Amino acid sequence: MTIQKRSKKVANRPEIFYKLVIHFAVILSMGGSAFGQVKLGYVNSQLILEKFKDATDAQKQLAEINKAWETEARNMQQELQTEQEALEAQRLVLTETKRQEKEAELQNLYLKFQQFQQEKWGQQGEAQKKQAELMKPVIDKVNEAIRKVGNEQKFDYIFDTVAGNILHISASQPDLTDAVLKVLNTP
């Protein structure tokens, strides 16, 4: 395997990148006087988002929006089912033209329902856009709090145990999650 192919594989797999960064940081920290001491810390971003009021508020708001969309989708589905049952009940008494009209209406309702689902929960749907819109200020605040703790306590690197695929953390490495939450929850 060529070096170019290997580098593409590494670039396309973030977990490998994170492991390389961690190994590099550990090697630097073990280098002693040659490199100086590297101060490492970590946070648990999932725990921060669970305990940070702004994040929980944004998640509640997203849940309310999603619940309203689900109700609307359920209503559309019930309408579709009611129309389907009505067509089946009347199928024998309808003329061929009238039956085709009803089937076309039913098909349009179904397409409308599918389009609604795609617009709300599809790959580029409103749910994802709304989540990004509501969570961006929260994530910005969390990142700023992490930077603040890192600068105040003079950390060289702060890793996220959730996003970074860190498999082991020494007991001597400080967990900065509470310090970040303290900064976030201070008025």
Separation of alpha carbons 163 and 104, rounded Å: 49
Per-residue tokens: 151: 């600068």
Give tens-digit pLDDT for 100-129. Answer: 999 999 999 999 999 999 999 999 999 999
Q: How does residue 84 score in pLDDT terms, banded at 50, 70 and 90?
A: very high
Handedness of CA 109, 110, 116, 119 (dihedral sign): negative
Separation of alpha carbons 29 and 172, rounded Å: 13
pTM for the whole structure: 0.68
Q: Which CATH number fits domain 3-52+144-184: 2.160.20, 3.30.70, 3.30.910, 1.10.3470?
A: 3.30.910
Domains in the chain: boundaries: 3-52+144-184, 62-130
Q: How does residue 157 score in pLDDT terms, banded at 50, 70 and 90?
A: confident
Give tens-digit pLDDT for 168-177. Answer: 566 777 888 9
pLDDT averaged over the chain? 83
The packing angle between helices 126-152 and 96-121, to 10°, is: 10
112, amino acid identity: K
Q: Name the DSSP class of 39.
A: P
Q: Is 12 exposed, middle or buried (0-12, 13-18, 19+ CB in 10 A)?
A: exposed
Three-class SS state of 99:
helix
Separation of alpha carbons 117 and 72, rounded Å: 10
Give tens-digit pLDDT for 47-59. Answer: 999 999 999 999 9
